[in-house]
């Protein structure tokens, strides 16, 4: 099992005062007026998280959700804190592989606790967003929650943009005769699978942000425009994701229709050539009868049969060409 990594930060009256302080000082610091503490637990063991839960009076159900890896993004309000969980997304354009990891947070009055797996997710991106908006730290823990969700929503936007580009490339390949239908179908299915996972991460974010920014909550008025802007980004990502679902369905259906059309064209050509082959077969079969016929036993019979074959086959070929079958 991966060893847990703990990071800490302390703000006093909105100003960063200390970083990476000992975990044992947490209880004392959150009781001091004007202090705001951040604790990050990367791949925590259940015992360490349970101990922290007892120390901060965290709900047991929320702790269970924090260590689970397949929770739906949500926001739950408890007596002493609000629990948030969302998913960080990343798309490898080269391989088309979608990576996602659960990021959870406990929003207390003077403490902000984040929990995530120790995989590819980099918590430094969230720390950098806090540092870029250092003036917001004086508005309390909700500013930390906003910074975390803002980073996650931006990552989701990038993934949706990448999926949009991939779908546009698929649309260009639809009418490319040199493109393998099997390869195109595999790419389409892979994108549909990734899009389903993206929708599961993006759509519930409206509820998460709405719970955090609810009008009857204690969100400072100065921070509310940032949360409103975040909610607007979530709505845009949601609408974009829904439009991509329609686009990928359209690509899939169009690809099937084009395959049916190409199959019909092939069948027409095969039918035409079969009819052309049937003419010499019929004529030679007629002239191969074991009974006398005009030209029987003479060279004139062979010449007449060749002329009949050539004339009928040419007429049928021209008829098929006019009909667009050949």
In tens, the pLDDT along 6-48 reads: 889 999 998 999 888 887 788 888 888 889 999 998 888 777 7
Residue 1's pLDDT is: 39
In terms of residue numbers, what domain contains 124?
Answer: 5-259
Tell the burial category of 150 from Cβ atoms under 10 Å away from its Cβ (0-12, 13-18, 19+). buried
Q: Are residues 204 and 280 in the same domain?
A: no
Residues 6+ apart with CB under 8 A from 318: none
Place of tokens 């360490």: 48
Quick check: 234 and 205 in contact, CB under 8 A? yes
Phi, psi of 104 (to 5 degrees): -115, 160
Strands lying side by side in the sheet with 15-19: 15-19, 5-12, 35-42, 111-116, 97-107, 82-92, 74-77
Residue 291's pLDDT is: 57
Q: Are residues 237 and 306 in the same domain?
A: no
Using pLDDT thresholds of 50, 70 and 90, give the confidence band for residue 173.
confident
Q: Are residues 16 and 95 in the same domain?
A: yes
Residue 290's pLDDT is: 59
Residue 326's pLDDT is: 64
d(CA 314, CA 106): 83
Q: Are residues 179 and 199 in the same domain?
A: yes
Residue 6's pLDDT is: 84
Q: Are residues 166 and 216 in the same domain?
A: yes
pLDDT in tens, 117-129: 866 788 899 999 9
Domain C-terminal end among 241, 259, 277: 259
Domain C-terminal end among 210, 234, 259: 259
Segment of 82-96, 145-159, 185-199, 249-263 carrying the highest mean pLDDT: 145-159
Q: Are residues 73 and 198 in the same domain?
A: yes
Q: Are residues 163 and 254 in the same domain?
A: yes
Domain C-terminal end among 228, 259, 290: 259
**Number of domains, the chain:** 2
Q: Are residues 40 and 68 in the same domain?
A: yes
Q: Are residues 24 and 70 in the same domain?
A: yes
pLDDT in tens, 254-297: 777 767 777 777 787 777 777 777 777 777 776 665 556 666 66
Tell the burial category of 212 from Cβ atoms under 10 Å away from its Cβ (0-12, 13-18, 19+). buried
Residue 2's pLDDT is: 45
Residue 183's pLDDT is: 73
Residue 315's pLDDT is: 81
Which among 177, 241, 205 is positioned nearest to 74, based on CA atoms? Answer: 205
d(CA 62, CA 258): 50
Q: Are residues 43 and 139 in the same domain?
A: yes
Bridge partners, residue 10, by sequence:
18, 37
CATH number of residue 16's parent domain: 3.30.460.20
Q: Are residues 158 and 299 in the same domain?
A: no
Q: Are residues 87 and 200 in the same domain?
A: yes
């Amino acid at each position: 099992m991966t060893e847990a990594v703990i990071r800490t930060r302390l703000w006093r009256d909105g100003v960063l005062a200390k970083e990476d302080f000992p975990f044992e000082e947490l209880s004392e610091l959150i009781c001091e007026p004007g202090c705001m503490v951040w604790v990050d637990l990367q791949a925590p063991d259940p015992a360490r998280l349970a101990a922290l839960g007892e120390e901060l009076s965290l709900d047991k159900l929320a702790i269970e959700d924090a260590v689970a890896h397949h929770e739906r993004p949500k926001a739950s309000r408890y007596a002493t804190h609000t629990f948030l969980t969302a998913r960080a997304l990343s798309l490898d354009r080269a391989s088309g592989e979608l990576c996602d990891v659960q990021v959870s947070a406990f929003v207390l009055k003077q403490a902000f606790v984040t929990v995530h797996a120790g995989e590819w997710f980099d918590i430094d991106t969230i720390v950098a967003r806090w540092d870029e908006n250092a003036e917001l730290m004086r508005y309390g823990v909700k500013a930390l929650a906003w910074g975390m969700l803002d980073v996650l929503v931006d990552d989701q936007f990038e993934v949706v943009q990448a999926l949009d580009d991939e779908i546009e490339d698929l649309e260009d390949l639809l009418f490319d005769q040199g493109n393998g239908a099997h390869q195109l179908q595999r790419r389409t299915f892979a994108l549909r699978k990734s899009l389903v996972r993206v929708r599961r991460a993006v759509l519930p974010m409206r509820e998460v942000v709405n719970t955090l920014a609810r009008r009857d909550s204690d969100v400072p008025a100065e921070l509310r425009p940032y949360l409103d802007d975040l909610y607007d980004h979530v709505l845009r990502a949601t609408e974009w994701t829904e439009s991509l679902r329609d686009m990928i369905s359209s690509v899939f259906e169009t690809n099937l229709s084009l395959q049916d059309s190409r199959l019909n064209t092939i069948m027409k050509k095969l039918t035409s050539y079969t009819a052309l082959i049937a003419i010499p077969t019929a004529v030679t079969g007629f002239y191969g009868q074991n009974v006398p016929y005009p030209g029987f036993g003479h060279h004139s019979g062979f010449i007449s049969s060749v002329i009949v074959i050539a004339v009928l086959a040419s007429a049928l070929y021209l008829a098929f060409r006019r009909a667009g079958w050949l």
